[in-house]
Amino acid sequence: MSDQVTLTIDGKEVTVPRGTKVIEAAKQVGVEIPHFCYHPGLPVDGNCRMCIADVRTWNARAEKHFPARRPAVTCWTDAEENMQVFTDTDEVKKSRATVMEFLLINHPIDCPICDKAGECMLQDHYMQHDGKRSELREEKIHKPRLKPFGERIVYNGERCILCSRCTRFTAHVSKTHDLGIVNRGDRAVVELAQGSTFDNAYTDNVSDICPVGALTKTDFRFKKRVWFLKHTDSVCGGCSRNCNTVVDHDRAEIVRIMPRRRDEVNGHFMCNEGRDIYKSLAATVRTSAPISRVDELGAGPSWDDALAWAGGKLGEQKKGGKLAVIGSPWMSNEEALVLGHLAGKVCKSAWMDIKNDVIEGYPADDLLHTDDHNPNRAGVIAAGVVPGKKDGKDLAAIQEAIAAGEVEVLLVWGTGLANHYDSVEAMHEAVAKVPVVIQLTDAMDALSEVAQLVLPVRNWAERDGTWTNFEGHTSRFRKALRPHGQARDGFELLSAMCTAAGGKPPVKTFKDARKKLKQDPDSDVREVADGEFAFYKGQSLYRHHSGTTEV
């Protein structure tokens, strides 16, 4: 028996591995079968019956297709050789409408005050597949509407369609067994297991995958109508997993962060810490223009003067070898490429390493979170900022050299140098021995209080770039927000510094950097399934359907 099966879906032929569900096979030929309970990241349950289609199996002995006795659920049914699937016959359409009617019997239809409105599968399927007025003339069943599930999730039993996605998530993905469906018939509701506090690191995912507005996040409730949000592909920097995300923003500020499907990195999900990272981003202290503490420049130098001065100082070190460069695991691969070149080729620096910018965060677990709370250590090293590249002169050696007064110019990217000292004072005392400290940073920290020159760069939400995770998968993040003040793009700034130091940047454009790095940020290869939900064909609506922007 071959491992592949070929079948037709609405007349379109498709070949898929044996065991593929019909609903998945259909996606491959661009046929979207409406569904609620099915989610590619969860075990199949087949309870909603929305995904029915007319499925005809091939009988080899009789040499004909068997007409189906009744419509089949395509999320349960395996694709078979020579199968015929019809997804839009009148009978199928009628069945769907009937399923919708049942689902809506007790649904409160409170879309105007529901946070899910605009990205709700029930709403969309109603518009597409039902569209009828309610036939119900009786009082609807009432259920709890404001039930906290832990601190981050609120449950509304009336909106719930009992698809069991959330309970399957806690049973099979987080394996915490927090949620279950209790009682029966029209009294059934999702309930928190007795004794559960629902405070694990992945709780918010249940809100994403809830096809309706039954599970809302305390962090997002009543904050913004989703149709006012702009969506930008991004990557989480919370740990070296690099979960692919979508940053939902309103030009000036990020309102929420949602996971984006990337099978080889994070699958469909992300952790709560990653979602909250926008808050710490918003809380950082920024500088909108260069700051200097040297007399030649004055307190607020122009970018041109600051660059010329910095380039001069770096250029002086070309031969002397008294330059130490400390990069950061928060740099993009492209920036690391240029910094590595500036340090190694342009300035021939002897000292080079990466510091540990963030040392606190969720502990590592066996789902997603890793124990490196910085995103791009692997990528920065691969791109050329190699710790102790020359004669093993790494961070420890740099610290020794600083203490011994051997370092003349210290170039630091980002924050957190103090993490490598016993205290902030100890760090201050050490760097006081260095005549020229230049810090390129997106946030002010203890070093910015004493550095001779602080150059503001854009943070991850304000620039384009790629990070490479601990397993070697590269993901691309894109500019979502307007840059703060005069903060400059790191890649472009470092390239300018190469020139100012009397050298040449390694590549001319960001695109060339991508080419040179020979990495494939797979996230660039985005299919329709990755974000554009095409319920309304021709209209490009970006939707967080099922939370992970899957179709």
Q: Which two tokens stand for residue 169?
A: 């998530």
Q: What share of the chain is helix, strand, coil (3-state, %, to 5)?
A: 30, 20, 50
Question: What's the DSSP call for residue 447?
Answer: G
**Of 310, 331, 346, 368, which lies in the binding site for ligand SF4, with binding defined by CB under 6 A?**
368
Q: Which two tokens stand for residue 324?
A: 């130490």
Give the interface segment with ligand FES, choosing from 41-49, 443-451, 492-500, 530-538 (CB under 6 A).
Answer: 41-49
What is the distance between the alpha carbons of residues 277 and 137, in angstroms, rounded to a whole number? 47
215 lies in the site for ligand SF4, by CB under 6 A? yes
**Of 49, 96, 165, 256, which lies in the binding site for ligand FES, with binding defined by CB under 6 A?**
49
Give the nearest distance from C-beta 97 to ligand FES in angstroms. 15
**Residue nearer to ligand FES on the CB measure, 37 or 343:** 37
Interaction partner, residue 51 (ligand SF4, another protein, ligand FES, none; CB < 5-8 Å by kind): ligand FES
**Residue nearer to ligand SF4 on the CB measure, 60 or 146:** 146
Q: For ligand FES, what does the binding mask look like between residues 66 and 95, x meaning CB under 6 A?
A: -------x-x--------------------
134: Cα within 13 Å, side-chain hemisphere: 13
Give the nearest distance from C-beta 70 to ligand FES in angstroms. 14
Question: What's the DSSP call for residue 196?
Answer: -
166 lies in the site for ligand SF4, by CB under 6 A? yes
**Of 8, 10, 46, 284, which lies in the binding site for ligand FES, with binding defined by CB under 6 A?**
46
* Distant-in-sequence, close-in-space partners of 165: CB < 8 Å, separation ≥ 6: 37, 39, 42, 206, 209, 210, 211, 546
Q: Which two tokens stand for residue 392?
A: 């093993």
Give the nearest distance from C-beta 425 to ligand SF4 in angstroms. 31
What is the distance between the alpha carbons of residues 512 and 45, in angstroms, rounded to a whole number? 47
What is the distance between the alpha carbons of residues 323 and 495, in angstroms, rounded to a whole number? 18
**Residue nearer to another protein on the CB measure, 143 or 543:** 143
| Partners of residue 6 on adjacent β-strands | 15
Q: For ligand SF4, what does the binding mask look like between residues 258 and 287, x meaning CB under 6 A?
A: --------x---xx-xx-------------
User: 3-state DSSP call for residue 297?
Assistant: coil
Question: What's the DSSP call for residue 481?
Answer: S
**Residue nearer to another protein on the CB measure, 180 or 435:** 180
Give the nearest distance from C-beta 175 to another protein in angstroms. 9
Give the nearest distance from C-beta 366 to another protein in angstroms. 18
User: 3-state DSSP call for residue 203?
Assistant: coil
**Taking the mean position of all CA atoms in its chain, how far away is CA 468?**
13
- The residues of the shown chain that bind ligand SF4, judged by CB under 6 A, are 160-166, 190, 210-212, 214-215, 236, 238-239, 241-243, 266, 270-271, 273-274, 368-369
